[in-house]
């Protein structure tokens, strides 16, 4: 058996899962969540569950969680005590989601002290994400000594984007000294979904052109040519591009000057506003698309505006990337909203018949996938492909340790 643990640590949360890649069977699914800074404040909650081992009862850990290291120690301690990992052969490695790899990391990487230091140097590019990722790595190295640890980067899949697409029209010195450029994110999702969609349609991935819309609380769209990313909506940070749950997406670059002069906003205030108070939440006060659709159906105008803005922004990017690619084999929806909201998919594709995209209302109904939701006569296929980012991290981590002979 090949048992891989996947760790995804944020500033106040930890997600932990172990997968047996020989059977693709989920043997451990452990989730540690906090609200705001709750884990750091010592009030976080930990829960373990074992879906493939029903004889093992769920575990709720009531004691306060002081920090990421403490949470990881408790998760591993309680999991090891059940014997589940040992019965499945023990861990082969631990794969870590790392949001920003900059230009330094273009593929999964075996973690060393030098790699950790390089990830630390990239914190200015992802101040909300990389610190938590680093804490998770350090904690896992403490609780699982001797087990190979692999970093899998959100940005790596987009390293095939050409300079004319990733460079900003800014003075060269900003790129040369600070690497100010488009990096893109959700790379594990876009890579997994594009390969899965190609296989679903029976098209060799090296011949596959697609537009993948990863629509969740965070949202991005990527143009795929020959199975590789050639453009993507997120930029230097995960803030650029589509309207999201609490993030603004694209705005006028002069807005910070306007707000500083007219409202006295500090850099910190501005950062908080764009990342945590904008997007769907900024327009209607809610960042849950399910609640927004319910409110819209009840006649709530602010919810309708938020819905319409979300779909319109995505449709603009879809049209732009059709122009970039020329031939598009498939438009693919994935992630929480993309997989589960027929109304959002319909709104984004509405009116695109002249571009060769026609939805079938019956096929589009319902949640989940994989499935084709376009009409038989649609020139471009429209698919729903559930993303499996954790599986992708596990597969990449396994490949990394095999290549390294670890």
Task: Give 196-244 pLDDT, tens digit per residue.
Answer: 999 999 999 999 999 999 999 999 999 999 999 999 999 999 999 999 9
In a domain, 171, yes or no: no
Residue 135 sits in the same domain as residue 237? no
What average pLDDT score do residues 125-142 get?
85
296, 255, 181, 191: CA torsion to nearest 10: 0
Residue 128 sits in the same domain as residue 213? no
Residue 147 sits in the same domain as residue 209? no
In a domain, 178, yes or no: no
Residue 147 sits in the same domain as residue 261? no
The CATH number of residue 104's host domain is: 3.30.420.40
49, 53, 3, 51: which is closest to 24 by C-alpha? 3
Residue 96 sits in the same domain as residue 27? yes
403 vs 149, more confident: 149
Q: How far apart are CA 85 and CA 87, in angstroms?
A: 5
What average pLDDT score do residues 357-370 get?
93
3-class secondary structure for the chain?
CCEEEEEEECCCCEEEEEEECCCCEEEEEEEEECCCCCCCCCCCEEEEECCCCCCCCCEEECCCCCCHHHHHHHHHHHHHHHCHHHHCCCEEEEEEEECCCCCCCCCCEECCHHHHHHHHHCHHHCCCCHHHHHHHHHHHHHHCCCCCEEEEECCHHHHHCCHHHHCCCCCHHHHHHHCCCCCCCCHHHHHHHHHHHHHHHCCCHHHCCEEEEEECCCEEEEEEECCEEEEECCCCCCCCCCCCCCCCCCCCCCHHHHHHHHHCCCHHHHHHHHHHCCHHHHHHCCCCHHHHHHHHHCCCHHHHHHHHHHHHHHHHHHHHHHHHHCCCCEEEEEHHHHHHCHHHHHHHHCCCHHHCCCECHHHHCCCCCCEECECCCCCCEEEECCCCHHHHHHHHHHHHHHHHCC
pLDDT band at 37 (very low <50, low <70, confident <90, very high): very low
In a domain, 165, yes or no: no
Residue 10 sits in the same domain as residue 141? yes
Q: How far apart are CA 245 and CA 287, in angstroms?
A: 5
Residue 308 sits in the same domain as residue 373? yes
Question: What residues are annotated to the active site?
Answer: 154
Q: For 203, phi and psi rounded to 5 degrees? A: -110, 130
Residue 93 sits in the same domain as residue 227? no
Q: Domain count for the chain, please give it.
A: 2
Rg of the chain over CA atoms, in angstroms?
21
115, 125, 109, 96: which is closest to 183 by C-alpha? 125
What average pLDDT score do residues 396-404 get?
89
pLDDT of residue 127: 79
- pLDDT tens digits for range 238-280: 999 999 999 999 999 999 999 999 999 998 899 999 999 999 9
In a domain, 185, yes or no: no
CB 185 within 8 A of CB 99: yes
Q: Which of 39-43, 293-297, 299-303 has the lowest mean pLDDT?
A: 39-43
- pLDDT tens digits for range 313-345: 999 999 999 999 999 999 999 999 999 999 999
Q: How far apart are CA 220 and CA 313, in angstroms?
A: 11
CB 50 within 8 A of CB 77: no
Residue 215 sits in the same domain as residue 288? yes
Residue 282 sits in the same domain as residue 376? yes
In a domain, 162, yes or no: no
pLDDT of residue 28: 63
Q: Does 191 have pLDDT greater than 80?
A: yes
Q: How far apart are CA 191 and CA 391, in angstroms?
A: 12
The chain-wide mean pLDDT, for the chain, equals: 89
pLDDT of residue 120: 92
Q: How far apart are CA 265 and CA 259, in angstroms?
A: 6
Residue 215 sits in the same domain as residue 278? yes
Residue 284 sits in the same domain as residue 355? yes
Q: How far apart are CA 389 and CA 188, in angstroms?
A: 6
Domain hosting 356: range is: 204-389
In a domain, 177, yes or no: no
Q: Are strands 25-33 and 14-20 parallel, antiparallel or unpaired?
A: antiparallel
In a domain, 195, yes or no: no
In a domain, 164, yes or no: no
């Amino acid at each position: 058996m090949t048992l891989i643990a996947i760790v995804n640590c944020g500033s106040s949360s930890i997600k932990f899962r172990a997968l047996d890649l020989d059977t693709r069977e989920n043997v451990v699914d452990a989730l540690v969540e906090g609200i705001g800074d709750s884990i750091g404040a010592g009030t976080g909650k930990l829960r373990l569950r074992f879906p493939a081992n029903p004889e093992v009862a769920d575990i709720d850990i009531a004691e306060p969680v002081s920090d990421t290291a403490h949470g990881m120690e408790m998760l591993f301690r309680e999991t090891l005590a059940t014997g589940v990992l040992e019965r499945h052969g023990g861990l082969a490695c631990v794969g870590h989601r790392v949001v920003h790899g900059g230009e330094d990391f273009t593929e999964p990487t075996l973690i060393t002290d030098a790699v950790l230091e390089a990830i630390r140097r990239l914190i200015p590019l992802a101040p909300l994400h990389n610190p938590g990722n680093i804490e998770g790595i350090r904690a896992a190295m403490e609780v699982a000594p001797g087990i190979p640890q692999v970093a899998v980067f959100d940005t790596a899949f987009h390293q095939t984007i050409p300079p004319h697409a990733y460079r900003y029209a800014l003075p060269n010195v900003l790129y040369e000294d600070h690497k100010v450029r488009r990096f893109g994110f959700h790379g594990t999702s876009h890579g997994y979904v594009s390969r899965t969609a190609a296989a679903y349609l029976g098209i060799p991935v090296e011949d596959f052109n697609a537009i993948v819309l990863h629509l969740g609380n965070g949202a991005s769209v990527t143009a795929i040519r020959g199975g590789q990313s050639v453009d993507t909506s997120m930029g230097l940070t995960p803030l650029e591009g589509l309207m999201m749950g609490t993030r603004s997406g694209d705005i006028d670059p002069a807005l910070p000057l306007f707000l500083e002069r007219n409202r006295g906003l500090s850099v910190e205030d501005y950062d908080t506003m764009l990342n945590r108070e904008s997007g769907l939440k900024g327009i209607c006060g809610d960042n849950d698309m399910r609640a927004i659709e319910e409110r819209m159906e009840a006649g709530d105008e602010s919810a309708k505006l938020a819905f319409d803005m979300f779909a319109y922004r995505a449709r603009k990017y879809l049209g732009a990337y059709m122009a970039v690619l020329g031939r598009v084999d498939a438009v693919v929806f994935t992630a929480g909203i993309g997989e589960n909201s027929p109304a959002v998919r319909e709104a984004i594709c509405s009116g695109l018949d002249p571009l060769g995209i026609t939805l079938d209302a019956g096929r589009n109904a319902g949640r989940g996938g994989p499935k084709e939701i376009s009409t038989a006569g649609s020139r471009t296929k429209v698919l729903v492909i559930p993303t499996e980012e954790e599986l992708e991290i596990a597969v990449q981590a396994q490949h990394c340790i095999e290549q390294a002979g670890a």
